[in-house]
Amino acid sequence: MFAWWGRFVYRRRWAMILISVGMLAGSVALLRAGGTLGTVSPLDSGEAYRGTQLLQQEIPETGSASFDLIFGSDTMLTSDTAFQTAMEQALSPLAADTRVRSVVTYYDVPAATRASYLSLDGHHALAHVRVRDDTTHARRYYPELRGLVRSDRLQVMATNGLAVVDDSNATLERDLRRGELVSLPLALVLLVLVFGSIVSGLLPLGIGALTIAGGIAATLWLNRVTDVSLYASNLVTLIGLGLAIDYSLFIVSRFREELAAGREVERAVSVTLATAGRAMAFSGLTVAVGLSGMLFFRGTFLASIGVAGGIVVALAVVYGLTLLPALLSVAGARVDLGRVRPAARRRQGPGLWARHADAVMRHPLVCSIPVVVTLLLLGAPVLHAHLAGGRIALLPPSAPSRRAFDLLQAQFPDQSLTRIPVVVYFPDGAPLAADHVASLYRLSRTIGQVPGVARVESIVDTSPSLDEAGYEALYARPPSQLPPDVRSVAARTTGSDIALFTVVTHEAEESDGARRLVSAIRGLHPQTGQMYVTGTTATDLDVVAFITQHASAAVAFVTITTYVVLFMLLGSIVLPLKAVVTNLLSISASFGALVWIFQDGHLSGVLGFTPQPIDPNVPILLFCIVFGLSMDYEVFLLTRIKEEYDKAGDVAGAIVAGLTRSGRLITGAAAIMISIFGAFALADVVLIKALGLTMGIAVAIDSTLVRALLVPAVMRLLGGWNWWIPSPLRSLYLRLGLGEVSYTSRARPVGD
């Protein structure tokens, strides 16, 4: 099929180029139409999500977006009239804006809470701004609102909520531009060095650029159908650029090899697609299988990343099977134009890779056992991994909202406390009915006794002088007869069916202490109604539980499906198993590097980030992406070894020949992939930095320890068992015509 397709592309090369131009035009049109990627909910199920939904339905103010403004002066105190006047003047445009729901400042909050809006040094005051829309809508006009707040006498800093989202968007866009500006020129230099020709180097880079354009355009289109994470554009660029250049490198290299062997251009294109093209298609399929593992996590942003990644992989394969061979058909021998170094002379005797492969064949145990031990040791830090959702620490210390947040933490102790919302839902309504008030009172006192709770804020905690009977009597009055401060609290904390408690603790949101506290509160049960603990810490617990619950199914699906795909490619039941096992070893080592660097804090000073727990989504992203990418080199290496084995039936000779012919290419491809990932390791957002650096480490480990040593050594030990296949399966394999190259060899497969 692939050989036929190669001949078809050669004869319809100009049509293929025109179709690709049309695809590019469509991509440009979608990019020009624009679009904004959203802030996807961490999880749209679970107790925390249910509690949040109830709050948004019954107390809409809690579901609207907000941000904090810190006003400061080096000379004036907040008690000075000039400070108050300047602050109120700066905030007046916000108060008059119809998009703003409320502006609360130090000067107009009740006396009991005023201290939380005043800094320790007395030179800073806090204003809390709440808008009428949710974050998805409000983030579009937040920069305009922020621009309304100006003062020539006070410094103004924004943090939390919309300010963090806005900084995240801006930082991600800068990271994307920086990654492209660094990776594309570096990739071109490496491609020219690998090929020794400018034209040969430009072709893969051009395919990569088209793939990125199409991938981002498709992602923006996808966002019109479903919510797509802000991180999608960066990850699409990472995956698309790396794969497209890798695939193109193998295609162009094989084409040049066929031309050097004296084949005509048409025949060279046909053989190239029958070998490297077939391997590329199967490699793309294995990468897509890996990414499809994210679909097991529907309800999180992982699913949108999986779909967007699958689209860009498909584009890389489509361009690699259509436009690239069409361009090679037109270029022919001119693919070597623009040589930057003389053509390599035929060397006398074996080259470096041949000598390396021969050494591995002579000492397979020496080359395999130490590698396995090394990979296990590199993966050891995973054993103390701590999973917790990313917060503002994901932003660089230089980000404006991060600097303001650090000031908030240092100068406003009460604002740095963790607040855990607890929603009590009454199916029969009337949360202020006498029996419900009694139940709420007892629940509040029970929660207050849980270790780690500093205080509880609710409608039954407005006055220390009231007991259960006092609160029952208080709320037996009509709402209009309640004291103004109590009426204000009731308006903010009760709906038609719910009552809101706020549990305040000194434990940090992402700490184990806060998690234990949430779990302890969830173990309590009100006498009437249903209780939902929500908030950041509770959502973290739900996300970790959700990911843990679905991870085994995702891993099983990816590994089993990849095994089947590799069987279809190789016609063996042993080699796919070996590939899956070595891949898992490689991934475990990269996971260990992730924990050692980003959680334990090694290299944090060099890389410029704050050590923090691992975001629970990152291991899934890494597994699904790296598992597929690692199979990339496995597929190209094994298909080349199988091709040589089919010619002569000599296992050791096939391994040596396959490693000799593909080793240099795998090294070059890995260097390019590492440079691309390394460019994104320069990102300011820690999640992108972690993915870029860890993926680069994974590729480095995979292309050196695994593909150059472990894989050939294990294949040498297996001998003829590499291609073992039971007779019924072998017959099925042949009947289906899955092998592009005839399944014949001088040595009959073991077990036949």
Provide DSSP, 12-52.
THHHHHHHHHHHHHHHHHHHHH----B---S-SSSHHHHHH
In a domain, 720, yes or no: yes
In a domain, 529, yes or no: no
CA-CA distance, 213 to 32, in Å (whole number)?
11
Measured between alpha carbons, how far is residue 296 from residues 47, 307, 380, 544, 557 in Å? 20, 12, 27, 14, 9
Q: Considering 118, 136, 160, which residue would you say is the last residue of a domain?
A: 160
How would you classify the pairing of strands 100-105 and 124-131? antiparallel
Q: Taking the alpha carbons of 244, 246, 251, 256 in that order, is the dihedral positive or negative?
A: positive
Structure tokens at 87: 């602050």
How would you classify the pairing of strands 418-425 and 100-105? unpaired
Residue 712 and residue 581 share a domain: yes
Nearest Cα residue to 268 out of 199, 325, 203: 325
Write out pLDDT tens, residues 342-383.
655 555 556 788 888 889 899 999 889 999 999 999 999 999
Residue 121 and residue 183 share a domain: no
Structure tokens at 55: 């709050």
- Mean pLDDT, range 711-725, rounded to an integer: 88
Taking a C-beta distance cutoff of 8 angstroms, is the pair 151, 82 a contact? no
Q: Residue 27: which residues within 8 A CB-CB, separation 6 or more?
A: 210, 213, 214, 217, 218
Q: Considering 120, 145, 160, which residue would you say is the last residue of a domain?
A: 160
pLDDT for the residue 742: 42
In a domain, 719, yes or no: yes
At position 298, the amino acid (one-letter code) is: R
CA-CA distance, 136 to 65, in Å (whole number)?
9
Angle (CA) 289 293 299, round 5°:
145
Around Cβ 13, how many Cβ atoms within 10 Å? 21
Q: What percent of the chain has pLDDT over 90?
A: 37
pLDDT for the residue 350: 63
pLDDT for the residue 740: 47
CA-CA distance, 714 to 585, in Å (whole number)?
14
pLDDT for the residue 123: 93
Structure tokens at 135: 């974050």
CA-CA distance, 100 to 215, in Å (whole number)?
37
Chain-wide mean pLDDT for the chain?
Answer: 87
Taking a C-beta distance cutoff of 8 angstroms, is the pair 605, 574 a contact? no
Residue 725 and residue 587 share a domain: yes
Length of the chain: 752
**Residue where the block lists tokens 């919302």:** 421
Taking a C-beta distance cutoff of 8 angstroms, is the pair 621, 302 a contact? yes
pLDDT for the residue 344: 52
pLDDT for the residue 86: 94
Residue 97 and residue 80 share a domain: yes
Residue 291 and residue 269 share a domain: yes
CA-CA distance, 512 to 604, in Å (whole number)?
22
CA-CA distance, 67 to 87, in Å (whole number)?
16
* Residues forming beta bridges with residue 156, ordered by sequence position: 71
CA-CA distance, 251 to 392, in Å (whole number)?
44
- Mean pLDDT, range 10-37, rounded to an integer: 88
Q: Does 412 have pLDDT greater than 80? A: yes
Taking a C-beta distance cutoff of 8 angstroms, is the pair 225, 311 a contact? no
Most confident region among 80-94, 296-310, 324-338 by mean pLDDT: 80-94
Residue 266 and residue 186 share a domain: yes
Taking a C-beta distance cutoff of 8 angstroms, is the pair 249, 204 a contact? yes
Nearest Cα residue to 334 out of 441, 225, 202: 202
Q: Considering 160, 195, 215, which residue would you say is the last residue of a domain?
A: 160
CA-CA distance, 253 to 217, in Å (whole number)?
29
3-state helix, strand, coil split of the chain in percent (to 5) is: 70, 10, 25
In a domain, 532, yes or no: no
Please give the residue range of the domain that contains residue 329: 2-37+167-341+350-391+541-736
**Residue where the block lists tokens 């992939």:** 673
Strand 124-131's sheet: what is its strand order?
100-105, 124-131, 66-72, 155-159
Q: Does 61 have pLDDT greater than 80? A: no
**Residue where the block lists tokens 């419900």:** 436
Within 112-227, strands assigned E span 124-131, 155-159
35 or 117, greater pLDDT: 117
pLDDT for the residue 745: 39
Nearest Cα residue to 616 out of 591, 588, 581: 591
Q: Residue 527: which residues within 8 A CB-CB, separation 6 or more?
A: 438, 439, 442, 443
Q: Is 624 helix (H, G, I), strand (E, B) or coil?
A: helix
Half-sphere exposure of 404 (CA within 13 A, CB side): 23
Residue 675 and residue 579 share a domain: yes
Q: Is 731 helix (H, G, I), strand (E, B) or coil?
A: helix
At position 463, the amino acid (one-letter code) is: S
CA-CA distance, 35 to 230, in Å (whole number)?
11
* Residues forming beta bridges with residue 129, ordered by sequence position: 67, 103
Residue 641 and residue 575 share a domain: yes
Residue 460 and residue 547 share a domain: no
Q: Does 564 have pLDDT greater than 80? A: yes
Convert 644-658 to b/e letters by CB count within 10 Å (16 or more is b). Answer: bbbeebebbbbbbbb
Residue 175 and residue 131 share a domain: no
In a domain, 201, yes or no: yes
Measured between alpha carbons, how far is residue 538 from residues 500, 510, 551 in Å? 15, 10, 20
- How many domains would you assign to the chain? 3
Residue 304 and residue 193 share a domain: yes
CATH label of the domain that carries residue 285: 1.20.1640.10
CA-CA distance, 457 to 414, in Å (whole number)?
13
pLDDT for the residue 337: 83
Cα Rg of the chain, angstroms: 31
Nearest Cα residue to 106 out of 142, 60, 154: 154
pLDDT for the residue 743: 35
Residue 190 and residue 301 share a domain: yes
Around Cβ 17, how many Cβ atoms within 10 Å? 16
Write out pLDDT tens, residues 648-695.
778 888 889 888 888 888 888 888 888 888 888 888 888 889 988 999
CATH label of the domain that carries residue 103: 3.30.70.1430
Burial of 525 (0-12, 13-18, 19+ CB in 10 A): exposed
Q: Residue 466: which residues within 8 A CB-CB, separation 6 or more?
A: 474
In a domain, 750, yes or no: no
In a domain, 516, yes or no: no
pLDDT for the residue 744: 36
pLDDT for the residue 40: 62
CA-CA distance, 51 to 64, in Å (whole number)?
15
Structure tokens at 121: 């040094």
pLDDT for the residue 345: 53
pLDDT band at 62 (very low <50, low <70, confident <90, very high): confident
Nearest Cα residue to 304 out of 680, 624, 630: 624
In a domain, 51, yes or no: no
